[in-house]
A and B are shown apart, each in its own frame.
Chain A
Amino acid sequence: MTTVSRRESRAGWLFLLPWVVGFLAFTAGPMLFSAWLSLTRYDMLKPPAFVGLENYREALVDEQVRTALWNTLVFTALHVPAQIGPALALAGLLRRAGRTAGFFRTVLYLPVMTPPVALAAMFLLLLNGQHGAINELLGWFGFTGPNWTTDPAWIKPGLVLMSLWTVGSTAVLYLAALTRVPVEQYEAARLDGASPWRQFWHVTLPGISGTVYFTVVVNTIASLQVFTEAYTIFYGARAKQSSDGDAALFYVIHLFREAFESLRMGYASALAWGLFVVIAIITAVQVRLSRRYVHYEGERS
């Protein structure tokens, strides 16, 4: 290494230093501490006591963990496609909007700025089974809407419906991806007599597969960590506590309650690492599948 490159390297590290220190202090440090805590019994009021893998053993047989994990996986299975389908449809419409696309893009993204707690409070009213606006709307079409917020069978679909409020963020990403699909490919496909559906399937989807993959991974991770809206609606207020019959007991909610209601920081840390492993496995599967289905621009076929 020359003197110049050494100096540049040092300068580079110096520039990186604030981030490195921040990462060590606020991310890596707490993670390591959490890993240590997961091996202890700790109620925040007395010093941690080492218990080895006891917390992990308990998590494996904890009925509530099974319920919470099942709820979370079901929610994820419903939520991810529910985000991607409408987002893709909206992006397709936006693409045809011509010069007004900028305006509509902004309008579409604005709901994403709504604070999650406010969103939950609003949807608690909209989703009410008796007089909620959503069921009123269904009533106009002759449907009797379900009790979205009080019937355990409909609580997760209700939360998925609520999550569509923020579909704009995914739609904006798809719009950017759609604009990058070369027009020549569509022209060639049309010349070959491809129907709009075949064009979508063989041109659009491969063209935006990198973005689709990204949104699937990000939405999956977000779904597996679902907390704020469900906690606000079903667990936040004393009057609403556990009125969902555990249908909205998601993994992070269970973790949070174990930590801050039961004061079991060690056990909650073990649950956190359990979720980390689940997310890592699911993401690894997605990465593996991406090699087959995702195409990047400039990539050799």
Chain B
Amino acid sequence: MRRFLVTAVLPLALVAGGCGGVGASGADAPNTLVTMGFGLPDEHATARLAVFRAAEPGVDLRINEGAFDEQQFLSSVAAGDPPDLVYAERRKLGSYAARGAVLGLADCVRRHGVDLGQFRDAALRQVTHRGEVHGLPDFANVRLLIVNNPVVRAAGLDPARLSTADWPGLAELTDRLARLDGDRPTRLGFDPKVPEFLPMWAKANGADLVSDDGLAARLDDPRVVEAVRVTADLVRRQGGWASFKAFRDTFDQFGAGNAYATGQLAVMPMESWYLNTLAANSPDVDVTVAPFTDRAGVPLTESGGQAWAIPKGARHPDLACRFLVTMTAADTWVAAATARRDALARAGKPYGGTFTANRVADERIFREVFDPRGNRVLERAVPQVLALQDKAFAVAPSPAASELVRAWEGGVNRVLTGRQQPEEAMAQAQREAERALKRVGGR
């Protein structure tokens, strides 16, 4: 009987006692700092961590590498066991701020004398809720046009004169640049990048998808509907969505055989980080980088990137505050940029700069560290990116951000796949968005 007892009860005792991997992780020790969503892919990460470690040698810093996982993050907050810091897309963090999942940083920035004015307006806007900043912006991307010069010239057009101002003209431009084999594209003439870039197309037509307070959607605004119709028509002219996307899915986006190098693509609006990818993988590619413009020809771009925030219930908010202030400081960025440049130089590669949401950091990086080593892509593109950084807008943070994105992307996709007309699709998207905003408490 005793043997029975030992055999049956011992495993339970072990599990209950924590031998099964359950129990205190040490994360609540006073000098421990746990992050989530931050990886260590290059010197931008490692050099900045080194700066923090040098400043705070007594801190046991635990970087849980890997992409930000919404499920993991929310579960940890709900369980009262969140990380000390979370690193995620600003759009997501803005939504969490509106829902009360991350802490306001007013005290934090005041205590450390952080000048919020050094951060770019759009980036800061994305993590500001009810006038209080809830995250410190990190990297900053903008969106611009990348034009494949040889392809455009071969069509008898001047790459420098291409513009997104003339919407009727875009259809003609697309027809001239695209190549089709039956209904299958062999070259995309103009990729409007919808549904992802719908906010920018709508803005170019004078419309915001979300109100300034983040509590109202305007997806059925006639100007939004027009943007959907025009961009979907560009796709239709190039074989229709199924063929268009199947062809786009074959692009070797991160290789030497990318769509610009192989001539599979003529013109596309794209995030600025892609310029570094092009420069590294196909340094001889001949491209023109131009701003995306509204219909009056005024340059326009949307801001993207990540931010650091402190989750509600974090064990070490003061230490976390010191960490995010250090990570986003201009000096830290310059140290990271320098380390990145030196590492690339050792590999014989150019350094195309680091685009941050910190204006002061960028000024110093591009004055002191930038080293394109004669790379044509970078030399042409970087001034354009820098000029655009302060022209960026951001979709207002909303407690229902994910659902709003899902609603408008779903609407555009129903048009792209031919299931609905633009008016009908965006009316449905608006209804979905309104429902989401109404029940924003989450049911």
> CB-CB < 8 A to A42: which residues of B?
442-443
Q: Which residue of B lies closest to A21 (CB)?
A: B12
Give the 5 A-B residue pairs with the shortest CB-CB distance, closest first. Answer: A43-B442, A245-B417, A129-B246, A14-B8, A151-B242
Judged by a CB distance under 8 angstroms, whether B101 is at the interface is: yes
> CB-CB < 8 A to B247: which residues of A?
130
A45-B246 contact given A245-B416, A264-B439, CB 8 Å threshold: no
> CB-CB < 8 A to A46: which residues of B?
100, 441-442
Tell which of B413, B416, B443 has the most Cβ of chain A within 10 Å. B443
Q: In the complex, which of the residues B99, B244, B441 contacts A41, with contact meaning CB atoms closer than 8 Å?
A: B441
Q: In the complex, which of the residues A7, A152, A257 contacts B1, with contact meaning CB atoms closer than 8 Å?
A: A7
Find out whether the CB atom of A262 lies under 8 angstroms from the CB atom of B1: no
Find out whether the CB atom of A15 lies under 8 angstroms from the CB atom of B4: yes
Q: In the complex, which of the residues B244, B312, B441 contacts A43, with contact meaning CB atoms closer than 8 Å?
A: B441
Q: Which residue of B lies closest to A8 (CB)?
A: B4
Stretch with Cβ within 8 A of B (4 or more), from A101-109, A218-226, A236-244, A273-281: A236-244
Q: Convert A220-255 into 0s and 1s, putting 1 for each residue whose CB lies closer than 8 angstroms to a CB of B.
A: 000000000000000000110111111100000000
Q: Convert A42-53 into 0s and 1s, putting 1 for each residue whose CB lies closer than 8 angstroms to a CB of B.
A: 111110010100
CA distance A51 to B250 in the complex (A): 48
A to B CB contacts below 8 Å, 9 in the list: A11-B4, A18-B12, A44-B75, A46-B441, A55-B443, A128-B250, A242-B195, A261-B402, A264-B443
A242-B413 contact given A17-B8, A45-B99, A131-B250, CB 8 Å threshold: yes
Q: B residues engaging A (CB < 8 A)?
A: 1, 4-5, 7-9, 11-12, 15, 70-71, 74-75, 77-78, 99-101, 184, 195-196, 241-247, 249-250, 312, 400, 402-403, 406, 409-410, 413-414, 416-417, 419, 436, 439, 441-443
Find out whether the CB atom of B413 lies under 8 angstroms from the CB atom of A11: no
Q: In the complex, which of the residues B101, B184, B400, B416 contacts A130, with contact meaning CB atoms closer than 8 Å?
A: B184
Find out whether the CB atom of A41 lies under 8 angstroms from the CB atom of B443: yes
| Other 18 A-B pairs with CB < 8 A, given A17-B12, A18-B11 | A14-B4, A17-B8, A41-B442, A42-B443, A43-B443, A44-B75, A44-B78, A45-B312, A46-B442, A54-B443, A129-B243, A147-B246, A239-B196, A242-B406, A242-B409, A243-B413, A257-B406, A262-B400
Judged by a CB distance under 8 angstroms, whether A23 is at the interface is: no
> CB-CB < 8 A to B74: which residues of A?
44-45, 260, 263
Judged by a CB distance under 8 angstroms, whether A124 is at the interface is: yes
Q: Which residue of B lies closest to A247 (CB)?
A: B417
